[in-house]
Structure 1
Amino acid sequence: MRLKSVRGLMAVAALLTGTNAAEAHIVAARLGDFYMGASHPLTDLQDVVLWIATGVLAGTLGASKGRWLIPVFPLGLLVGLALGPVFGAVSAQLANATMMLAIGMLLAAAVQVPTIVLCAIAFAVAVTRGAANGAELGPETDRLLFGAGLGCVGYGAITLTMALTAAFRRTTGSVTSWRAIAVRALGGWIAAIGLMMASLVLAS
């Protein structure tokens, strides 16, 4: 059973490092630049894992801290979109792996992260993923519409994930409850994926 889990994590890490963001443009091109911006992150496993991990972390810390991410995360996506051409593919993948590892460890350890640190983590995730989403855009793409779609889906994803996590944990405040343990276990899996992903990037 343990061997199967390790193989599963390695497969996910390999998929994350091998994701080609440019392929999504073909699928979404006929839907318009706004819809391309909104659907593009949903086709990239690195976006899915990091966005969910960030939302879960914020949700475990409570509404008073998590609500700051509602403006911070979409803003970070737009900043990253503007900086897209600056980031290299390898450095971005290594940054993604590092953030997965860091967020996963924070979740697994049930650390009470200060609001300013939470906002910094979320902003870093958003900037990196915004840059990755915008790095392959062609000159014919309307970046304003693409950014609007990206910002909207970022707002929706982070808000929904935080709300679901907060609702899941609302019934108890004990760190030993099965709900809290489930969230910490999820953090362990995210950290393991990040570690394997970083190993694959450095080995290539």
Structure 2
Amino acid sequence: MSPFRRTALLASVLLLTQVGIADAHIVSARLGDFYAGALHPLLTLQDVVVWVALGLLAGSLGAASGRWLVVVFPLGLCTGLALAVGSALTLVSPLIDAATILVLGLLLAAALRIPVTLLSVIAFVLGVMRGAANAGELMPQTDRLLYAAGLAIAGYVTITLVMALALTFRRPETEPVSSWRGIAVRAAGGWVAAVGLMMAGLSLAS
């Protein structure tokens, strides 16, 4: 064996003996808690339906009414999370989730002109409820600040995107409720209400 190959083999053996645990993933930097807070609600049916329905409702009422939700809803999520962590408070149950989805669907289907203040209160209360529900995923080693930041940003992005899409499609400033766009949004509200009824039936049956 040539001296070069002998040296290369020796160097390879030395490198292999120094192998340790690889810290190449973001979880080791505790950023995994941030992504857990952001992704968990987007993988839960109750959160997805409630967040999308709330964004549709805000978008169907116009930009002036809906823009407050961009701040109020994430604030409600963080408040609910903090309440649940601090007092082990449980604000949700399958039946309450179903009733919430049903009410949101009916509001969408009825095309009611909800005042800005009332809409903001509804968004904050829903945020508190869903924030408390997501606290159930916290583990003792979870960084609560990162988890809350991920949850709040997910709420902000979801509400903003859904509301923007609803505003673009619905055009509440120029299209009447009786237009086909308004009817389509109301039909979506009917489907949301149907999901709420189905969830209520399943909850009562179990």
TM (norm. structure 2) is 0.80
How many residues align? The count is 175
Return the offset for 1:111.
Answer: 0.6
Return the offset for 1:71.
Answer: 0.8
Q: Deviations over 1:112-155 (max 9, x none)?
A: 11111111211122111111111231110011000001101111
* CA distance, structure 2, for counterparts of residue 94 and residue 131 of structure 1: 15
**Aligned counterpart, 2:167:** 166
Unaligned runs of 5+ in 1: 1-27
Q: Deviations over 1:26-53 (max 9, x none)?
A: xx96761111111111111111111000
Range with bigger deviation, 157-166 or 190-199: 190-199
**Aligned counterpart, 2:11:** none
**Aligned counterpart, 2:38:** 38
**Aligned counterpart, 1:143:** 144
* CA distance, structure 2, for counterparts of residue 96 and residue 127 of structure 1: 13
**Aligned counterpart, 1:199:** 201
The within-5 A match list for 1:109-124 is 109-124=110-125
* Contact 2:69–2:120, Cα closer than 8 Å, also in 1: yes
* Contact 1:81–1:135, Cα closer than 8 Å, also in 2: no
* CA distance, structure 1, for counterparts of residue 66 and residue 178 of structure 2: 22
Return the offset for 1:104.
Answer: 0.5
What is the identity, as a one-letter code, of the residue corresponding to 2:32?
G
Moved over 4 A (4+): 28-31
* CA distance, structure 1, for counterparts of residue 83 and residue 148 of structure 2: 12
* CA distance, structure 2, for counterparts of residue 202 and residue 124 of structure 1: 24
What is the identity, as a one-letter code, of the residue corresponding to 1:76?
G
Pairwise CA RMSD: 1.7
* Contact 1:92–1:128, Cα closer than 8 Å, also in 2: no
* CA distance, structure 2, for counterparts of residue 145 and residue 136 of structure 1: 13
What is the identity, as a one-letter code, of the residue corresponding to 1:86?
L
The within-5 A match list for 1:172-187 is 172-187=174-189
* CA distance, structure 2, for counterparts of residue 192 and residue 117 of structure 1: 24
What is the identity, as a one-letter code, of the residue corresponding to 2:35?
Y
Unaligned runs of 5+ in 2: 1-25
* Contact 2:175–2:181, Cα closer than 8 Å, also in 1: no
**Aligned counterpart, 1:8:** none
Return the offset for 1:92.
Answer: 2.5
Q: Are 2:83 and 1:83 aligned?
A: yes
Range with bigger deviation, 184-193 or 174-183: 174-183
Residue 175 of structure 1 aligns to a residue in which SS? coil
**Aligned counterpart, 1:7:** none
Residue 83 of structure 1 aligns to a residue in which SS? helix
What is the identity, as a one-letter code, of the residue corresponding to 1:98?
A
TM (norm. structure 1) is 0.81
Higher helix share: 1
The within-5 A match list for 1:101-112 is 101-112=102-113
Identity %: 59
